[in-house]
Amino acid sequence: MDRGTTSEARAAMYSRNRLKLGLFGANCSSGRAVTMVPERWSGSWADCLRLAQMADDAGIEFMLPIGRWKGYGGDTDYQGATFETVTWACGLLAATRRLTVFGTVHAPLIPPLIAAKEFVTADHIGEGRFGLNIVCGWNEGEFEMFGATLRDHESRYDYAQEWLDVIRRAWSEEDDFDFAGRFIQLKGVRAKPKPYGGTRPVIMNAGASPTGQAFAIRNCDALFSNIANGISFEETTGHVKNVQALARRGGREIDVYTVGVVTCRKTAREAEDYWRHAIVDNADWRAVDNILAMKNVTPEALGAEEFHRFRNHQANGMGGLPLVGDPDRVAGQLAQLSAAGLTGIAVSFVNYLDELPFFCAEVLPRLARLGLRETI
Ligand SMILES: Cc1cc2nc3c(=O)[nH]c(=O)nc-3n(C[C@H](O)[C@H](O)[C@H](O)COP(=O)(O)O)c2cc1C
Protein backbone atom coordinates (compact mmCIF):
# COMPACT_ATOMS: atom_id res chain seq x y z
CA MET A 1 0.00 0.00 0.00
CA ASP A 2 1.31 3.46 -0.90
CA ARG A 3 2.53 5.63 1.92
CA GLY A 4 0.42 8.44 3.22
CA THR A 5 -2.21 8.12 0.52
CA THR A 6 -5.43 7.50 2.42
CA SER A 7 -6.55 7.47 6.03
CA GLU A 8 -7.64 3.85 5.54
CA ALA A 9 -4.16 2.83 4.41
CA ARG A 10 -2.71 4.54 7.45
CA ALA A 11 -5.20 2.97 9.82
CA ALA A 12 -4.29 -0.40 8.29
CA MET A 13 -0.64 0.50 8.93
CA TYR A 14 0.00 -0.10 5.21
CA SER A 15 -0.54 -3.81 5.68
CA ARG A 16 -3.13 -6.24 4.35
CA ASN A 17 -2.61 -8.68 7.21
CA ARG A 18 -5.85 -9.63 8.91
CA LEU A 19 -4.08 -9.83 12.25
CA LYS A 20 -1.70 -6.94 12.84
CA LEU A 21 1.18 -7.29 15.26
CA GLY A 22 3.03 -4.70 17.28
CA LEU A 23 5.61 -4.50 20.04
CA PHE A 24 4.56 -2.76 23.22
CA GLY A 25 6.68 -1.04 25.85
CA ALA A 26 10.23 -1.31 24.47
CA ASN A 27 11.06 2.33 25.36
CA CYS A 28 11.09 1.49 29.09
CA SER A 29 13.65 -0.39 31.14
CA SER A 30 12.22 -3.85 31.94
CA GLY A 31 9.55 -3.31 29.26
CA ARG A 32 6.33 -4.79 30.62
CA ALA A 33 7.69 -7.67 32.66
CA VAL A 34 8.01 -6.79 36.34
CA THR A 35 10.88 -9.20 36.80
CA MET A 36 14.35 -9.30 38.31
CA VAL A 37 15.85 -11.84 35.85
CA PRO A 38 19.17 -10.44 34.61
CA GLU A 39 18.18 -10.75 30.94
CA ARG A 40 15.23 -8.36 31.47
CA TRP A 41 14.89 -5.63 28.84
CA SER A 42 17.47 -2.82 28.99
CA GLY A 43 15.38 -0.26 27.11
CA SER A 44 18.67 1.22 25.79
CA TRP A 45 18.66 3.13 22.53
CA ALA A 46 20.96 0.61 20.84
CA ASP A 47 18.57 -2.22 21.75
CA CYS A 48 15.47 -0.25 20.70
CA LEU A 49 17.05 0.53 17.33
CA ARG A 50 18.07 -3.09 16.67
CA LEU A 51 14.61 -4.24 17.70
CA ALA A 52 12.85 -1.77 15.41
CA GLN A 53 14.97 -2.84 12.45
CA MET A 54 14.37 -6.51 13.22
CA ALA A 55 10.62 -5.89 13.47
CA ASP A 56 10.65 -3.85 10.25
CA ASP A 57 12.39 -6.66 8.36
CA ALA A 58 9.92 -9.22 9.74
CA GLY A 59 6.87 -7.22 8.66
CA ILE A 60 5.67 -6.45 12.20
CA GLU A 61 3.25 -3.55 11.75
CA PHE A 62 3.94 -1.22 14.67
CA MET A 63 5.79 -0.28 17.83
CA LEU A 64 3.84 1.23 20.70
CA PRO A 65 5.80 2.93 23.50
CA ILE A 66 4.61 3.60 27.03
CA GLY A 67 4.22 7.19 28.21
CA ARG A 68 5.96 6.80 31.56
CA TRP A 69 7.81 9.54 33.43
CA LYS A 70 8.64 8.05 36.82
CA GLY A 71 9.79 4.53 37.69
CA TYR A 72 7.92 2.29 40.08
CA GLY A 73 10.83 1.54 42.43
CA GLY A 74 11.16 -1.97 43.86
CA ASP A 75 14.40 -3.93 43.54
CA THR A 76 14.80 -3.08 39.85
CA ASP A 77 13.32 0.44 39.78
CA TYR A 78 10.81 -1.00 37.34
CA GLN A 79 10.42 1.27 34.27
CA GLY A 80 12.82 3.68 35.95
CA ALA A 81 14.60 4.57 32.69
CA THR A 82 12.27 5.59 29.89
CA PHE A 83 12.67 7.38 26.60
CA GLU A 84 10.27 10.20 25.77
CA THR A 85 8.11 8.64 23.13
CA VAL A 86 7.82 11.16 20.28
CA THR A 87 11.56 11.76 20.02
CA TRP A 88 12.04 7.98 20.35
CA ALA A 89 9.59 7.48 17.47
CA CYS A 90 11.46 10.04 15.31
CA GLY A 91 14.72 8.11 15.67
CA LEU A 92 13.10 4.77 14.88
CA LEU A 93 11.11 6.13 11.94
CA ALA A 94 14.31 7.49 10.39
CA ALA A 95 15.89 4.04 10.62
CA THR A 96 13.02 1.89 9.31
CA ARG A 97 11.00 1.55 6.10
CA ARG A 98 7.60 0.04 6.87
CA LEU A 99 6.96 0.13 10.59
CA THR A 100 4.35 2.49 12.06
CA VAL A 101 5.79 3.98 15.27
CA PHE A 102 3.50 5.55 17.84
CA GLY A 103 4.16 8.33 20.25
CA THR A 104 2.26 7.89 23.53
CA VAL A 105 1.38 11.35 24.69
CA HIS A 106 -0.20 12.63 27.90
CA ALA A 107 -2.57 15.27 26.56
CA PRO A 108 -2.51 17.47 29.69
CA LEU A 109 1.28 17.71 29.80
CA ILE A 110 2.06 19.16 26.36
CA PRO A 111 0.50 22.28 24.84
CA PRO A 112 -1.52 21.14 21.82
CA LEU A 113 0.27 23.21 19.20
CA ILE A 114 3.71 22.04 20.22
CA ALA A 115 2.31 18.51 20.18
CA ALA A 116 0.74 19.01 16.73
CA LYS A 117 4.04 20.27 15.30
CA GLU A 118 6.03 17.44 16.90
CA PHE A 119 3.66 14.86 15.42
CA VAL A 120 3.93 16.45 11.97
CA THR A 121 7.73 16.41 12.23
CA ALA A 122 7.73 12.72 13.17
CA ASP A 123 5.24 12.01 10.41
CA HIS A 124 7.43 13.60 7.74
CA ILE A 125 10.49 11.74 9.01
CA GLY A 126 8.54 8.50 8.70
CA GLU A 127 6.80 9.49 5.46
CA GLY A 128 3.36 8.86 6.91
CA ARG A 129 4.21 6.20 9.50
CA PHE A 130 3.78 8.11 12.76
CA GLY A 131 0.86 7.19 15.00
CA LEU A 132 -0.57 8.97 18.05
CA ASN A 133 -1.59 7.18 21.23
CA ILE A 134 -3.42 9.66 23.45
CA VAL A 135 -3.35 9.09 27.18
CA CYS A 136 -5.13 11.25 29.70
CA GLY A 137 -3.13 10.18 32.76
CA TRP A 138 -3.87 8.40 36.00
CA ASN A 139 -0.62 8.58 37.95
CA GLU A 140 -0.70 11.53 40.33
CA GLY A 141 2.99 11.28 41.24
CA GLU A 142 3.92 11.74 37.60
CA PHE A 143 1.72 14.79 37.23
CA GLU A 144 3.12 16.41 40.39
CA MET A 145 6.55 16.10 38.85
CA PHE A 146 5.37 18.44 36.08
CA GLY A 147 3.61 20.83 38.46
CA ALA A 148 0.38 19.68 36.78
CA THR A 149 -2.84 18.67 38.49
CA LEU A 150 -4.62 15.49 37.54
CA ARG A 151 -8.19 16.57 36.77
CA ASP A 152 -11.15 14.47 37.83
CA HIS A 153 -11.75 11.52 35.52
CA GLU A 154 -14.51 13.05 33.37
CA SER A 155 -12.74 16.42 32.96
CA ARG A 156 -9.59 14.61 31.83
CA TYR A 157 -11.45 13.40 28.76
CA ASP A 158 -13.14 16.80 28.23
CA TYR A 159 -9.70 18.38 28.19
CA ALA A 160 -8.35 15.69 25.85
CA GLN A 161 -11.23 16.37 23.46
CA GLU A 162 -10.31 20.06 23.17
CA TRP A 163 -6.61 19.19 22.90
CA LEU A 164 -7.28 16.79 20.04
CA ASP A 165 -9.70 19.20 18.33
CA VAL A 166 -6.93 21.82 18.24
CA ILE A 167 -4.45 19.32 16.86
CA ARG A 168 -6.78 18.14 14.13
CA ARG A 169 -7.52 21.69 13.08
CA ALA A 170 -3.81 22.55 13.07
CA TRP A 171 -3.22 19.50 10.89
CA SER A 172 -5.95 20.36 8.41
CA GLU A 173 -6.86 24.07 8.27
CA GLU A 174 -5.07 26.18 5.70
CA ASP A 175 -6.26 29.49 7.13
CA ASP A 176 -5.38 30.94 10.53
CA PHE A 177 -7.96 30.08 13.18
CA ASP A 178 -8.91 30.94 16.76
CA PHE A 179 -9.92 28.34 19.33
CA ALA A 180 -12.19 29.21 22.23
CA GLY A 181 -12.71 26.19 24.46
CA ARG A 182 -13.44 25.64 28.13
CA PHE A 183 -9.80 24.80 28.83
CA ILE A 184 -7.90 26.03 25.80
CA GLN A 185 -8.06 29.48 24.19
CA LEU A 186 -5.83 30.27 21.22
CA LYS A 187 -5.60 33.16 18.76
CA GLY A 188 -4.42 33.28 15.17
CA VAL A 189 -3.23 29.70 15.02
CA ARG A 190 -1.08 28.89 11.98
CA ALA A 191 0.61 25.53 11.53
CA LYS A 192 2.58 24.39 8.49
CA PRO A 193 3.49 21.96 7.10
CA LYS A 194 0.58 19.58 7.43
CA PRO A 195 1.06 15.85 8.09
CA TYR A 196 2.69 13.80 5.35
CA GLY A 197 0.84 13.10 2.12
CA GLY A 198 -2.33 15.11 2.77
CA THR A 199 -3.77 12.71 5.37
CA ARG A 200 -3.18 12.47 9.11
CA PRO A 201 -1.49 10.12 11.59
CA VAL A 202 -3.41 7.11 12.84
CA ILE A 203 -4.88 7.90 16.28
CA MET A 204 -5.47 5.42 19.09
CA ASN A 205 -6.48 5.49 22.72
CA ALA A 206 -6.72 2.88 25.45
CA GLY A 207 -9.65 4.13 27.50
CA ALA A 208 -11.23 1.43 29.63
CA SER A 209 -14.03 3.31 31.39
CA PRO A 210 -17.27 4.12 29.54
CA THR A 211 -16.05 7.73 29.15
CA GLY A 212 -12.65 6.55 27.93
CA GLN A 213 -14.18 4.18 25.41
CA ALA A 214 -16.63 6.82 24.23
CA PHE A 215 -13.68 9.15 23.63
CA ALA A 216 -11.98 6.51 21.46
CA ILE A 217 -15.19 5.73 19.61
CA ARG A 218 -15.69 9.43 18.78
CA ASN A 219 -12.12 10.25 17.84
CA CYS A 220 -9.86 7.32 17.19
CA ASP A 221 -9.01 4.83 14.46
CA ALA A 222 -8.19 2.22 17.08
CA LEU A 223 -9.17 1.36 20.64
CA PHE A 224 -6.77 -0.73 22.71
CA SER A 225 -8.70 -2.85 25.19
CA ASN A 226 -7.21 -5.07 27.83
CA ILE A 227 -8.75 -8.50 27.30
CA ALA A 228 -8.20 -9.99 30.73
CA ASN A 229 -7.13 -13.59 31.10
CA GLY A 230 -10.17 -15.80 31.62
CA ILE A 231 -12.58 -13.60 29.64
CA SER A 232 -14.50 -15.85 27.30
CA PHE A 233 -14.38 -15.83 23.53
CA GLU A 234 -18.04 -14.71 23.51
CA GLU A 235 -17.35 -11.79 25.84
CA THR A 236 -14.44 -10.62 23.70
CA THR A 237 -16.51 -10.92 20.51
CA GLY A 238 -19.35 -9.04 22.18
CA HIS A 239 -17.03 -6.24 23.30
CA VAL A 240 -15.57 -5.77 19.80
CA LYS A 241 -18.99 -5.85 18.15
CA ASN A 242 -20.38 -3.37 20.64
CA VAL A 243 -17.53 -0.86 20.19
CA GLN A 244 -17.79 -1.11 16.41
CA ALA A 245 -21.57 -0.74 16.42
CA LEU A 246 -21.30 2.38 18.57
CA ALA A 247 -18.72 3.84 16.19
CA ARG A 248 -20.91 3.11 13.14
CA ARG A 249 -23.84 4.78 14.85
CA GLY A 250 -21.66 7.92 14.88
CA GLY A 251 -20.73 7.39 11.23
CA ARG A 252 -17.23 6.11 12.01
CA GLU A 253 -15.17 2.92 11.78
CA ILE A 254 -12.90 1.75 14.58
CA ASP A 255 -10.51 -1.16 15.00
CA VAL A 256 -10.10 -2.90 18.34
CA TYR A 257 -6.68 -4.12 19.46
CA THR A 258 -5.44 -5.74 22.62
CA VAL A 259 -2.18 -6.31 24.49
CA GLY A 260 -0.44 -9.61 25.17
CA VAL A 261 2.67 -10.98 26.80
CA VAL A 262 4.40 -13.72 24.83
CA THR A 263 6.50 -16.55 26.24
CA CYS A 264 7.02 -18.88 23.29
CA ARG A 265 9.48 -21.75 23.32
CA LYS A 266 10.01 -24.99 21.38
CA THR A 267 7.89 -26.95 23.83
CA ALA A 268 4.98 -25.97 26.06
CA ARG A 269 6.95 -27.24 29.06
CA GLU A 270 9.92 -24.97 28.33
CA ALA A 271 7.62 -21.97 27.87
CA GLU A 272 5.76 -22.61 31.12
CA ASP A 273 9.00 -23.17 33.04
CA TYR A 274 10.47 -19.90 31.79
CA TRP A 275 7.25 -18.02 32.45
CA ARG A 276 7.23 -19.27 36.06
CA HIS A 277 10.93 -18.51 36.49
CA ALA A 278 10.67 -14.92 35.19
CA ILE A 279 7.19 -13.88 36.22
CA VAL A 280 6.56 -15.73 39.48
CA ASP A 281 9.82 -16.92 41.09
CA ASN A 282 11.76 -13.79 40.13
CA ALA A 283 9.03 -11.16 40.00
CA ASP A 284 9.95 -7.79 41.46
CA TRP A 285 7.15 -8.05 43.99
CA ARG A 286 8.05 -4.78 45.72
CA ALA A 287 7.57 -2.95 42.41
CA VAL A 288 4.33 -4.86 41.76
CA ASP A 289 3.00 -3.77 45.15
CA ASN A 290 4.01 -0.14 44.50
CA ILE A 291 2.09 -0.16 41.21
CA LEU A 292 -0.97 -1.74 42.80
CA ALA A 293 -0.93 0.68 45.73
CA MET A 294 -0.97 3.62 43.27
CA LYS A 295 -4.14 2.14 41.82
CA ASN A 296 -5.60 1.54 45.28
CA VAL A 297 -5.41 -2.20 44.82
CA THR A 298 -4.64 -3.45 48.34
CA PRO A 299 -5.60 -6.58 50.31
CA GLU A 300 -7.71 -4.32 52.54
CA ALA A 301 -9.64 -2.92 49.57
CA LEU A 302 -10.07 -6.17 47.62
CA GLY A 303 -9.81 -9.05 50.04
CA ALA A 304 -6.83 -11.41 50.12
CA GLU A 305 -7.87 -13.77 47.32
CA GLU A 306 -8.76 -11.12 44.74
CA PHE A 307 -5.64 -9.14 45.66
CA HIS A 308 -3.50 -12.23 45.05
CA ARG A 309 -5.06 -12.70 41.61
CA PHE A 310 -4.43 -9.06 40.67
CA ARG A 311 -0.88 -9.25 41.96
CA ASN A 312 0.03 -12.23 39.76
CA HIS A 313 -1.63 -10.63 36.78
CA GLN A 314 0.26 -7.37 37.27
CA ALA A 315 3.67 -9.09 37.41
CA ASN A 316 2.85 -10.59 34.04
CA GLY A 317 3.30 -7.66 31.68
CA MET A 318 1.33 -5.19 33.78
CA GLY A 319 -1.85 -7.10 33.12
CA GLY A 320 -1.52 -8.14 29.47
CA LEU A 321 -3.00 -11.38 28.13
CA PRO A 322 -0.48 -14.19 28.73
CA LEU A 323 0.35 -16.11 25.55
CA VAL A 324 2.47 -18.94 26.88
CA GLY A 325 3.32 -22.10 24.99
CA ASP A 326 4.89 -23.71 21.97
CA PRO A 327 4.48 -22.04 18.55
CA ASP A 328 1.31 -24.00 17.74
CA ARG A 329 -0.36 -22.91 20.93
CA VAL A 330 0.69 -19.26 20.68
CA ALA A 331 -0.40 -19.08 17.02
CA GLY A 332 -3.69 -20.74 18.02
CA GLN A 333 -4.31 -18.19 20.76
CA LEU A 334 -3.60 -15.33 18.36
CA ALA A 335 -5.96 -16.87 15.80
CA GLN A 336 -8.69 -16.98 18.47
CA LEU A 337 -8.26 -13.26 19.13
CA SER A 338 -8.57 -12.57 15.43
CA ALA A 339 -11.67 -14.76 15.22
CA ALA A 340 -13.17 -12.69 18.04
CA GLY A 341 -12.91 -9.63 15.77
CA LEU A 342 -9.73 -8.03 17.06
CA THR A 343 -7.67 -6.29 14.40
CA GLY A 344 -4.38 -6.78 16.15
CA ILE A 345 -2.32 -7.16 19.26
CA ALA A 346 0.66 -5.38 20.75
CA VAL A 347 2.91 -7.88 22.49
CA SER A 348 5.85 -7.75 24.82
CA PHE A 349 8.58 -10.20 25.80
CA VAL A 350 10.92 -10.37 28.78
CA ASN A 351 13.75 -9.64 26.34
CA TYR A 352 12.36 -8.52 22.98
CA LEU A 353 15.60 -8.90 21.04
CA ASP A 354 16.37 -12.39 22.31
CA GLU A 355 12.83 -13.71 21.84
CA LEU A 356 11.52 -12.01 18.70
CA PRO A 357 13.59 -14.07 16.21
CA PHE A 358 12.05 -17.37 17.42
CA PHE A 359 8.56 -15.84 17.41
CA CYS A 360 9.05 -14.59 13.85
CA ALA A 361 10.56 -17.85 12.62
CA GLU A 362 7.94 -20.13 14.18
CA VAL A 363 4.73 -18.21 14.89
CA LEU A 364 4.52 -15.92 11.84
CA PRO A 365 4.56 -18.80 9.30
CA ARG A 366 1.81 -20.53 11.29
CA LEU A 367 -0.28 -17.35 11.18
CA ALA A 368 0.35 -17.19 7.44
CA ARG A 369 -0.85 -20.77 7.04
CA LEU A 370 -3.98 -19.83 8.99
CA GLY A 371 -4.57 -17.03 6.46
CA LEU A 372 -4.02 -14.28 9.03
CA ARG A 373 -0.79 -12.85 7.67
CA GLU A 374 1.09 -12.77 4.41
CA THR A 375 4.55 -14.30 4.30
CA ILE A 376 7.29 -11.77 3.80
C1 LIG B 1 -2.70 -0.68 25.56
C2 LIG B 1 -2.68 0.33 26.67
C3 LIG B 1 -1.69 1.29 26.66
C4 LIG B 1 -1.65 2.26 27.66
N5 LIG B 1 -0.60 3.11 27.68
C6 LIG B 1 -0.49 3.98 28.71
C7 LIG B 1 0.66 4.76 28.82
O8 LIG B 1 1.57 4.63 28.04
N9 LIG B 1 0.75 5.65 29.85
C10 LIG B 1 -0.26 5.79 30.76
O11 LIG B 1 -0.13 6.62 31.66
N12 LIG B 1 -1.37 5.04 30.67
C13 LIG B 1 -1.49 4.13 29.69
N14 LIG B 1 -2.58 3.31 29.62
C15 LIG B 1 -3.69 3.57 30.54
C16 LIG B 1 -4.86 4.18 29.77
O17 LIG B 1 -4.48 5.29 29.01
C18 LIG B 1 -6.02 4.57 30.67
O19 LIG B 1 -5.63 5.57 31.55
C20 LIG B 1 -6.51 3.40 31.45
O21 LIG B 1 -6.81 2.34 30.56
C22 LIG B 1 -7.72 3.78 32.28
O23 LIG B 1 -8.80 4.02 31.42
P24 LIG B 1 -9.87 5.12 31.75
O25 LIG B 1 -9.15 6.44 31.68
O26 LIG B 1 -10.89 4.97 30.67
O27 LIG B 1 -10.40 4.85 33.11
C28 LIG B 1 -2.64 2.30 28.67
C29 LIG B 1 -3.64 1.32 28.67
C30 LIG B 1 -3.65 0.31 27.70
C31 LIG B 1 -4.72 -0.75 27.75
Per-residue model confidence as pLDDT tens digits over 258-288: 999 999 999 999 999 999 999 999 999 999 9
What's the confidence (pLDDT) of residue 1? 65
- Index of the ligand 1 atom closest to the CA of residue 68: 9
Report the range of poorest mean pLDDT among 42-46, 193-197, 318-322.
318-322
- Contacts for 182 with CB less than 8 Å, ≥ 6 apart: 158, 162
Q: How far is the CA of 205 from the centre of ligand 1 (A)?
A: 8
Other C-beta atoms closer than 10 Å to the C-beta of 1 total 13
pLDDT at residue 4 is higher than 80: no
Q: What is the pLDDT of residues 86-128, one digit of tens each?
A: 999 999 999 999 999 999 999 999 999 999 999 999 999 999 9
Q: What is the pLDDT of residues 37-86, one digit of tens each?
A: 999 999 999 999 999 999 999 999 999 999 999 999 999 999 999 999 99
Report the range of poorest mean pLDDT among 5-19, 38-52, 302-316.
302-316
Is 35 in contact with 263 (CB distance < 8 Å)?
no
Mean pLDDT of 196-214: 95
Cβ–ligand 1 distance for 271 under 6 Å, the answer no
pTM for the model stands at 0.96
Cβ–ligand 1 distance for 208 under 6 Å, the answer yes
What's the confidence (pLDDT) of residue 201? 97
Q: Provide the pLDDT confidence category of residue 7 given band limits of 50, 70 and 90.
A: confident
Handedness of CA 315, 319, 325, 327 (dihedral sign): negative
Cβ–ligand 1 distance for 206 under 6 Å, the answer yes
Mutate to test the pocket of ligand 1, among 104, 211, 337 (most ligand atoms within 8 A of CB): 104
pLDDT at residue 295 is higher than 90: no
- Index of the ligand 1 atom closest to the CA of residue 205: 17
Q: How far is the CA of 103 from the centre of ligand 1 (A)?
A: 13
Percent of the chain with pLDDT over 70: 98
Other C-beta atoms closer than 10 Å to the C-beta of 153 total 12
Cβ–ligand 1 distance for 9 under 6 Å, the answer no
For 325: left if phi > 0, alpha if psi spans -120 to 50, otherwise beta; the answer is left
Instruction: Specify the higher pLDDT residue, 149 or 331.
Output: 331
Q: Whose CA is nearest to atom 18 of ligand 1?
A: 207
pLDDT at residue 182 is higher than 90: yes
Mean pLDDT of 146-156: 93
Q: Using alpha carbons only, give the angle 338, 341, 347 rounded to the nearest 5 degrees.
A: 50
CA gap 296, 5 in Å, rounded = 45
Cβ–ligand 1 distance for 334 under 6 Å, the answer no
Cβ–ligand 1 distance for 318 under 6 Å, the answer no
Mean pLDDT of 255-260: 96
Q: How far is the CA of 168 from the centre of ligand 1 (A)?
A: 21
Is 257 in contact with 251 (CB distance < 8 Å)?
no
pLDDT at residue 330 is higher than 80: yes
What's the confidence (pLDDT) of residue 308? 85
Q: Whose CA is nearest to atom 13 of ligand 1?
A: 135
Mean pLDDT of 359-369: 98
Q: Whose CA is nearest to atom 28 of ligand 1?
A: 206
Q: How far is the CA of 175 from the centre of ligand 1 (A)?
A: 34
pLDDT at residue 314 is higher than 90: no
Q: How far is the CA of 224 from the centre of ligand 1 (A)?
A: 9
CA gap 359, 357 in Å, rounded = 5
Rounded mean pLDDT of the chain? 95
